[in-house]
C-alpha cells in the first residue's frame, strides 16, 4: 500500500498533473457558479475533453472538476440565495443572511476555508481508510436507508422559524410535490394530470431556484430602494481570532461526519450538509443565531459537503458502485478512459487509484489559493444597482433551469414555485423544511417500499438489524430531547414561541 501511495505522489506532483488539476478545479468552479449547473453537468461537459488524454491525468482533472464545482455552487447560494444543487442549499441558510448584512466577502472566505478543511481532512481519511471503508459502504440496505432518512426528517423541527406546526405543514407539502411523477416501485404515474412533462416529477432545480431565488427576488423588488448596510467593506475577507474559534468546532466535527455520510451510497453531499447544519445547531450555545448569519451555521454545511465529496469516492473507487448521480457520471468518465473502478482497481492500477486520491490534496490547496483572491471580485455582483441585479438573477435562474431541462414547461413551473415560495414567506411558512422534505421524501418512500417488497409486506424487516434500530433510537432522541428542553425552558419562564 505504501508503495502505491508513493506512486500516487509521483503522479500527482508531476508538472502535467499539477497543470490539469489546476484546470480542473478552475473550470469546475466556474461551471459550478452558474445556477443550475452543478457537479453532474460539469463532469458530463468535461468528458469529451479528456478523450485523447492520459487516463490518470484525465481522471485527476475530473476529480478536480468534481470538487471544484461543489465549491463553486455555494457562491451563488451565498450571494444570491440561488442554490444550484441540493448540496449547497444548507449553505444559504446562514450564508445569504451574512451577505445581506454586508459581510459577503467574509461569508465567501469562511466557505472557502471550511471547504478546504473539509476537503483536506476527508482526503486524509480517504487515504487511510479507503480499503477498509469499502465494506462500510455496503452495509446499508433499504431498511437502513429508510431509518437514515427518517432521522434526516427530524431536522424539520430544528429548521422551523418559531412555529413547529407551520414547519410540519411545509414539510408535508414538500413531500407531496415529490410524489408527482412516475412511481419508481410500480411505474404508476401519480398526480401528473396527464401531462408528459410531469412524468419525471418536478426537478429539484425548479424547487430550489423557485422557492429560494425567485421568491427572494420578489422581496428585492419591493425593497429595491433600500441600501445594503455596510457596502463599503463588503469585499473584506478579514476573519478575526474569534471567528476562527467559532469555526474550529464545526470544521473538525463535520469533516468526519460529512466524510462518513459521503461514503454511504445515496446519502452524499446533500444529506451530510443538512445533518451538519442541524447537529451544529443542536450543539450550539446560541441556536437562535442560526438562520441569521451564524458563522457556525455556514461553516458546518460547507465543511460537510466537501468532505462528503471525497467520501463518495470510496464506493466508487473501491467497489465500482456509484452512490449518486454525480458519481454515476464520474463512473462514465472512468469507463470512457478505459479504467474500470472496482475492487481490482487498487491492485491492478495503483497509479490511478492513489494518483486520484493524492491529487485531491493539491486540488484543495488550489481551490483555496484560486478563490480567496477572487472573492473581492465575486462580491462586486452585490454592488450592481438593484434593478439590474434583479434582472440578472431572474435571467440566471431561467437559464439554469432551461439548460438542464430544455423545456419551457419547467420555466413556467419555476414561476409557479416562485409564487408559492413568496406566499410561504409572507405567511411565515419556512422554506427549508419544504425543500428538505422534497429531497428526502422521495428517497424515504422508495426505501420504505423497497424494504417491504423484500420482506413480502412484513414490517418486521425494520426491527431486525441493529443498525436500523440504533438509527430509530437516534431519531427518537432527536425528537424527544429538544421538546423536553423546550418544556424545561418554558417552565423556567423563558417562554419560547412555539406553534402549538
Partner 1 sequence: MSRKLFVLMIIGLLLLTGCTMPVQTGSINAAGEWEPDRSIEVIAPSAAGGGWDTTARMLARTIDEENLSDQGFGVVNKPGGGGAVGWAYIHKRNDPHNLFISSPPIHFVKQNGQSPYGYDDFTPIANLIADYGAFAVRDDARWDTLGELFEEMKESPENITVVGNSSPGSMDHMQFIMFADAAGVDITKIRYVSDQEGGAMTGVLNGSIDVISTGVLDAAEQARAGKMKVLGITAPERLKGDEFLETLPTGREQGIDAEFIVWRGIFGPPDMTEEQLTYYEDIIKETSESEAFADIRNRYGWDERFMDSEEFKDFLDEQSVEIEALLKELGFITE
Partner 2 sequence: MKLTVNKGLSLVLLVIAASYLFMAYNLPEYAFVPVDADLIPKLLGFALVILSICFFFSKDIDTEEQKKKRVIKKKEAGMLLGVMVLILLYITVLEVVGFVIMTAAFIIVCTRFLGYQNWIATISTAVIFSVGAYALFNYGLAIRLPAGILPF
Interface residue list for partner 2 (CB under 8 A): 31, 37, 41, 45, 48, 162-163, 165-166, 168-169, 172-173, 175-176, 179, 183, 185-188, 190-191, 217-218, 221-222, 224, 385-388, 390-392, 394-395, 398-399, 402-403, 408, 411-412, 415, 419, 425-428, 445, 448-449, 452-453, 455-457, 497, 499-500
- Which CB sits closer to partner 2, 362 or 389? 389
Least Cβ distance, residue 281 to partner 2 (angstroms) = 21
Q: Which helix (H) or strand (E) holds 332?
A: helix 325-336
User: Considering the complex, what minimum distance in angstroms separates the CB of residue 27 from partner 2?
Assistant: 9
Q: Which of 19, 128, 344, 423 binds partner 1 (CB under 8 A)?
A: 344
Strand partners, 181: 190
C-alpha cell at 240: 478575526
**For 382, which DSSP code?**
G
**Which of residues 199 and 473 has its CB atom nearest to partner 1 in the complex?**
199
Q: How many CB atoms lie within 10 A of CB 186?
A: 10
| Partner interacting with residue 327 (select from partner 1, partner 2, none; CB below 5-8 Å by kind) | partner 1
Work out what residue 102 binds among partner 2, partner 1, none; the CB cut-off runs from 5 to 8 Å by kind.
none
Report the distance separating Cα 461 and Cα 471, nearest Å.
Answer: 14
Which of partner 1, partner 2, none does 197 bind, CB closer than 5 to 8 A by kind?
Answer: partner 1
Tell me: does residue 148 bind partner 1 (CB under 8 A): no
As measured in angstroms, the least distance from the Cβ of 141 to partner 1 is: 3
For residue 212, what is the DSSP state? I
- Is 363 within 8 Å of 25 (Cβ atoms)? yes
Residues, the chain, total? 500
Give the H or E element holding residue 72.
Answer: helix 55-80
- Minimum distance from CB of 391 to partner 2 (Å)? 4
**Segment near partner 1 (CB under 8 A); pick from 9-17, 21-29, 210-218, 339-347:** 339-347
As given in the structure block, the three cell numbers for residue 294 are: 451564524
State how far the Cα of 432 lies from the Cα of 419, in Å rounded to an integer.
16
Q: How far is the CB of 115 from partner 2 (least distance, A)?
A: 23
Q: Return the number of the residue (1 or 165) whose C-beta is nearest partner 1.
A: 1
Using a 10 angstrom Cβ sphere, with 0-12 exposed, 13-18 middle and 19 or more buried, the burial of residue 265 is buried
434 near partner 1, judged by CB under 8 A: no
Q: In sequence order, what are the beta bridge partners of 182?
A: 189
Give the shortest CB-424-to-partner 2 separation in angstroms. Answer: 11
Residues with Cβ within 8 Å of 296's Cβ and at least 6 positions away in sequence, in order, are: 94, 246, 247, 249, 250, 280, 284, 289, 290
* SS3 per-residue string spanning 134-201: HHHHCCCCHHHHHHHHHHHHCHHHHCCCCCHHHHHHHHHHHHHHHCCEECCCCCCEECCCCCHHHCCC
Q: Contact with partner 1 (CB under 8 A): which of 322, 418, 433, 441?
A: 322
Write out the residues near partner 1 by the rule CB under 8 A.
40-41, 43-45, 48, 137-143, 145, 182-187, 189, 196-197, 199-200, 265-266, 315, 319-325, 327-329, 332, 335-336, 338, 340, 342-344, 404-407, 443, 446, 450, 453-454, 456
Amino acid at each position: 500500500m505504501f508503495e502505491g501511495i508513493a506512486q500516487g505522489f509521483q503522479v500527482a506532483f508531476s508538472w502535467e498533473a499539477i497543470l490539469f488539476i489546476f484546470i480542473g478545479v478552475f473550470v469546475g468552479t466556474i461551471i459550478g457558479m452558474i445556477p443550475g449547473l452543478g457537479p453532474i453537468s460539469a463532469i458530463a461537459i468535461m468528458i469529451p475533453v479528456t478523450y485523447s488524454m492520459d487516463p490518470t491525468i484525465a481522471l485527476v482533472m475530473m476529480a478536480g472538476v468534481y470538487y471544484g464545482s461543489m465549491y463553486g455552487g455555494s457562491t451563488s447560494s451565498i450571494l444570491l440565495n440561488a442554490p444550484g444543487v441540493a448540496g449547497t442549499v444548507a449553505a444559504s441558510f446562514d450564508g445569504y443572511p451574512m451577505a445581506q448584512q454586508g459581510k459577503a466577502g467574509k461569508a465567501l472566505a469562511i466557505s472557502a476555508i471550511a471547504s478546504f478543511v473539509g476537503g483536506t481532512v476527508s482526503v486524509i481519511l480517504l487515504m487511510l481508510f479507503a480499503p477498509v471503508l469499502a465494506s462500510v459502504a455496503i452495509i446499508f440496505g433499504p431498511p437502513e436507508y429508510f431509518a437514515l432518512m427518517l432521522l434526516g426528517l427530524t431536522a424539520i423541527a430544528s429548521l422551523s422559524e418559531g412555529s413547529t406546526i407551520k414547519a410540519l405543514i411545509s414539510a408535508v407539502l414538500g413531500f407531496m410535490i415529490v410524489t408527482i411523477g412516475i412511481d419508481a416501485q410500480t411505474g404508476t404515474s401519480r398526480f401528473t394530470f396527464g401531462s408528459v412533462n410531469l412524468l419525471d416529477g418536478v426537478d429539484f432545480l425548479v424547487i430550489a431556484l423557485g422557492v429560494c431565488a425567485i421568491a427572494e427576488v420578489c422581496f428585492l423588488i419591493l425593497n429595491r430602494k433600500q441600501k445594503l448596510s455596510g457596502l463599503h467593506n463588503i469585499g473584506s475577507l478579514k476573519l478575526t481570532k474569534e471567528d476562527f474559534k467559532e469555526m474550529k468546532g464545526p470544521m473538525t466535527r463535520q469533516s468526519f461526519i460529512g466524510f462518513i455520510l459521503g461514503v454511504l451510497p445515496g446519502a452524499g453531499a446533500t444529506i451530510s450538509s443538512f445533518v451538519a447544519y442541524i447537529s451544529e445547531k443542536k450543539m450550539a450555545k446560541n441556536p437562535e443565531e442560526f438562520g441569521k448569519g451564524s458563522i457556525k451555521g455556514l461553516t458546518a454545511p460547507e465543511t460537510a459537503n466537501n468532505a462528503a465529496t471525497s467520501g463518495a469516492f470510496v464506493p466508487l473507487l473501491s467497489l465500482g458502485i456509484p452512490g449518486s448521480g454525480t458519481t454515476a457520471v464520474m463512473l462514465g468518465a472512468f469507463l470512457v478512459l478505459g479504467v474500470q473502478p472496482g475492487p481490482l482497481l487498487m491492485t491492478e492500477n495503483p497509479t490511478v487509484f492513489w494518483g486520484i486520491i493524492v491529487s485531491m490534496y493539491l486540488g484543495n490547496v488550489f481551490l483555496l489559493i484560486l478563490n480567496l483572491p477572487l472573492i473581492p471580485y465575486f462580491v462586486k455582483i452585490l454592488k450592481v444597482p438593484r434593478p439590474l441585479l434583479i434582472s440578472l438573477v431572474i435571467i440566471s435562474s431561467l437559464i439554469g433551469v432551461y439548460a438542464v431541462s430544455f423545456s419551457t414547461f419547467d420555466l413556467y413551473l419555476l414561476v409557479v414555485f416562485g409564487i408559492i415560495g413568496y406566499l410561504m414567506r409572507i405567511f411565515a411558512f419556512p422554506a427549508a423544511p419544504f425543500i428538505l422534505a422534497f429531497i428526502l421524501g422521495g428517497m424515504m418512500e422508495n426505501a420504505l417500499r423497497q424494504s417491504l417488497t423484500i420482506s413480502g409486506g412484513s414490517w418486521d424487516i425494520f426491527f431486525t438489524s441493529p443498525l436500523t434500530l440504533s438509527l430509530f433510537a437516534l431519531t427518537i432522541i432527536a425528537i424527544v430531547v429538544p421538546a423536553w428542553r423546550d418544556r424545561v425552558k418554558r417552565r423556567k419562564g423563558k417562554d419560547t414561541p412555539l406553534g402549538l
